A = this chain, B = another copy of it.
Amino acid sequence: MQKIAIIGLGLLGGSLGLALRGKEFVRLGWARRKETREEALRRGIVDESSENIEDIISQSDISILCLPIPRIIEFGEKYAAHFKKGSVVTDIGSVKGAITSPLEKALVLYGVFFIGSHPMAGTEKSGIEAAFSELYKGASVFITKTSQSSSAALETVKKFWQTINTRPVEIGVLEHDELVAHTSHLQHIAALAITEAVLDCDPDTLKLRYAGCAGGFKDTSRITSSSPQMWREIIEHNQPAVLESVKEFEKRWLNIIKIIENKDFDALYQEFAKGKKMRDEWLKSRGL
């Protein structure tokens, strides 16, 4: 049986361990906090754990860095010499450019292969207590390929993600970062602005606003309850692509506002109808 290192046992790492239960891997887990490692063993998230990261990665055929973006980069470089020779290292980071270049460079020196991964899965919660086995079910997982990528390592990473019923999608690093700026990062900025526009007000107004907030507010703002540190890091490491997606949003926004200002409500109907059609088709493509 292949050994797999899960480095970091939060929502992503913990859910990965749960999804891998009963699959053909020995799951070795590392987390900084002792309580987290104990919880991971107790819940059957990993088969073995150690406080010593080198112990784990030196015997693993695949290592998955389930850490915040800066820690993925830092750990990949710091422990480069300790991964098993010929093994494959991947990650779950939401940006790929900032992670892939330094880690490819650092690991190749030791005969270790790096292939970036980004599973499109998550919730607004974080920590091992939020982990659940179905988190990844049916999710797309972007697997980033560069001119340096080993085809065998790419295949290994792809197969790994298929094991837990996700849908691997090969993509270039830059293309990935532009894509997720549009489909994910932009939404976090919009949700934040929505939340502030509604809830950042004087206490009397706030009381009424609370009464006026229902399902529409709840869902459009949900991801504002995500980890502020994580989202700061994601946007920090993808700033240019995020600003491109912002322009794309502003173009659409300003067009809609202009229509409303002009009281051209037939045109407004057309925009709403177009948006509904596009979203309903996306839902349909997902079988939702």
Min CB distance A184 to B, Å, is: 5
Whether A214 lies near B120 (C-beta < 8 A) is yes
Residues of the B chain whose Cβ atoms lie less than 8 Å from the Cβ of A221:
279
Whether A272 is near chain B, meaning CB under 8 Å from some CB there, is: yes
Given A208-B171, A260-B235: A183 in contact with B213 (beta carbons within 8 A): yes
Whether A191 is near chain B, meaning CB under 8 Å from some CB there, is: yes
Whether A273 is near chain B, meaning CB under 8 Å from some CB there, is: yes
Whether A222 is near chain B, meaning CB under 8 Å from some CB there, is: yes
Main SS of the interface on chain A?
helix
A279-B222 Cα distance, complex, nearest whole Å: 8
Whether A228 lies near B179 (C-beta < 8 A) is no
Residue of B nearest to A268 (CB): B232
Whether B194 lies near A187 (C-beta < 8 A) is yes
Whether A163 is near chain B, meaning CB under 8 Å from some CB there, is: no
Whether A202 is near chain B, meaning CB under 8 Å from some CB there, is: no
Whether A198 lies near B217 (C-beta < 8 A) is no
Copies of this protein, total: 2
Residues of the B chain whose Cβ atoms lie less than 8 Å from the Cβ of A268:
232, 235-236
A46-B281 Cα distance, complex, nearest whole Å: 34
Cross-interface CB contact of A253 among B180, B193, B265, cutoff 8 Å? B193
Cross-interface CB contact of A260 among B184, B209, B213, B243, cutoff 8 Å? B243
Whether A49 is near chain B, meaning CB under 8 Å from some CB there, is: no
Given A122-B214, A196-B252, A260-B242: A190 in contact with B280 (beta carbons within 8 A): no
Whether A224 lies near B276 (C-beta < 8 A) is yes
Given A221-B279, A225-B283: A212 in contact with B180 (beta carbons within 8 A): yes
Min CB distance A279 to B, Å, is: 5
Whether B242 lies near A211 (C-beta < 8 A) is no
4 more A-B residue pairs beyond the given contacts A167-B211, A246-B260, with a C-beta to C-beta distance below 8 A: A121-B214, A121-B215, A224-B278, A235-B268
* A–B Cβ pairs within 8 angstroms, 30 of them: A120-B211, A120-B214, A121-B214, A121-B215, A122-B215, A140-B212, A142-B211, A175-B208, A179-B209, A183-B212, A184-B214, A188-B216, A188-B272, A189-B253, A189-B256, A190-B194, A191-B275, A192-B256, A192-B271, A192-B272, A193-B256, A210-B285, A215-B223, A216-B223, A219-B220, A224-B275, A231-B272, A232-B272, A236-B263, A236-B265
